[in-house]
Amino acid sequence: MSILINNNTRLLVQGITGRDGSFHTRQMLDYGTNVVAGVTPGKGGMEVEGVPVFNSLSEAVKKTEANTSVIFVPARFSSSAIYEAADAGIKLIVCISEGLPTIELVKITAYLKNKDCRLVGPNSPGLVSAGESKVGILPGHIFKKGKVGVISRSGTLTYEIVDHITRVGLGQSTCIGIGGDPIIGTKFIDCLELFADDKDTEAVVLVGEIGGRDEQDTAEYVKKYFKKPVFGFIVGKTAPPEKRMGHAGAVISGTSGTAAEKIKVFKECGIKVGDTPAEVAQLVKEML
């Protein structure tokens, strides 16, 4: 099994006619994803890689029954793209775009609470249910169908962890890049709740970063509620204090949010932590 996306996913690409949208549409199609529509205002009637393009989400959903969207539009248009997808009845919105203002995300997450949909991202590489569907920019060739769920705040470290899991002979159920911004639509705990009910996911790997308290809160949740084995990797051990490192969310304040603190809490809550991506994969293999 898998979570969030599978063989029944009917994907719509927002910004399909742009450079990134068209390139990754080809990659998603090659992986086997059922891409049923694209949307670019003013370019309805075109086709991109054989996928029909519509002027609006409402028209596209009505004609193709799309249930998932992925957003490849510039940051200044991404908020409108999220609202339009939610209003059109899309159930899962995956926002690849980065650079959305935090104040806009406050408004968006509040708005989506009254909608029957889930936002992954922004600043997300997307997600893959191995052997079934790929939504976003993750490299499909490193995935192998298996029993390990992966949830990550990092982009490239997601690929590293997945590749090592595959190399030790295991595979993945679903891998989710939740994004590294301070405010995101889907957090670690949200994903763990879904993995808890997935009978084919036997273990979960968490890839965290410096900044914020999401990892600490997640560790407490794991200790109290999550019954499957959980493994961790924290990025940013050498990051200097009081510095922003790459992502808007990667800010350390005093001792709060440091890699050392997060690793300490992980271990205290029973999460086995690897020092390298290769070590994480080996720890999972030894458990399974």
Which fold would CATH assign to domain 139-287?
A: Rossmann fold (3.40.50)
Q: Rounded mean pLDDT of 136-157?
A: 96
d(CA 12, CA 48): 12
Would you place residue 247 in the very low, low, confident or very high pLDDT band (cuts 50, 70, 90)?
Answer: low
Give the CATH number of domain 11-120: 3.40.50.720
Would you place residue 257 in the very low, low, confident or very high pLDDT band (cuts 50, 70, 90)?
Answer: confident
The reported pTM is 0.94
- Domain boundary assignment for the chain: 11-120, 139-287
pLDDT at 242 over 90: no
pLDDT at 263 over 50: yes
pLDDT at 245 over 70: no
- Give the residue among 122, 128, 159, 142 at the shortest CA–CA distance from 14: 122
Q: Rounded mean pLDDT of 229-237?
A: 90
**Catalytic-role residue among 24, 141, 164, 247:** 247
Q: Rounded mean pLDDT of 16-22?
A: 98
pLDDT at 249 over 90: no
Task: State the pLDDT at residue 119.
Answer: 98
CB 228 within 8 A of CB 202: yes
CB 108 within 8 A of CB 97: no
Q: Is 232 helix (H, G, I), strand (E, B) or coil?
A: strand
> Could you give phi then psi for residue 221, rounded to 5 degrees?
-65, -45
Task: State the pLDDT at residue 252.
Answer: 46
Give the distance, in angstroms, between the CA of residue 245 and the centroid of all CA atoms in the same chain: 20
Strands 35-39 and 51-54: parallel
pLDDT digits (tens, 9 = 90+) for 162-179: 999 999 999 999 999 999
**Tokens 């997450």 map to which residue?**
109
Residue ranges of the alpha helices (H) in 126-276?
Answer: 156-167, 188-196, 214-225, 259-268
Specify whether 247 is catalytic: yes
pLDDT at 272 over 80: yes
Q: Rounded mean pLDDT of 32-44?
A: 98
pLDDT at 254 over 50: no
Would you place residue 253 in the very low, low, confident or very high pLDDT band (cuts 50, 70, 90)?
Answer: very low
d(CA 209, CA 81): 28
Shared fold status for 11-120 and 139-287: yes
pLDDT at 229 over 70: yes
Task: State the pLDDT at residue 248.
Answer: 47
pLDDT digits (tens, 9 = 90+) for 59-117: 999 999 999 999 999 999 999 999 999 999 999 999 999 999 999 999 999 999 999 99
Q: What percent of the chain has pLDDT over 70?
A: 93
Give the distance, in angstroms, between the CA of residue 145 and the centroid of all CA atoms in the same chain: 17
**Tokens 């924290």 map to which residue?**
234
Q: What percent of the chain has pLDDT over 90?
A: 88
CB 188 within 8 A of CB 195: no
pLDDT at 121 over 50: yes
Task: State the pLDDT at residue 174.
Answer: 98
Task: State the pLDDT at residue 105.
Answer: 96
Cα–Cα separations (whole angstroms), residue 2 to 88, 146, 159, 179? 25, 10, 18, 20
Residue ranges of the alpha helices (H) in the chain?
Answer: 19-31, 57-64, 75-87, 102-112, 156-167, 188-196, 214-225, 259-268, 277-287
- Give the residue among 172, 253, 240 at the shortest CA–CA distance from 211: 253
How high is the mean pLDDT of the chain? 93
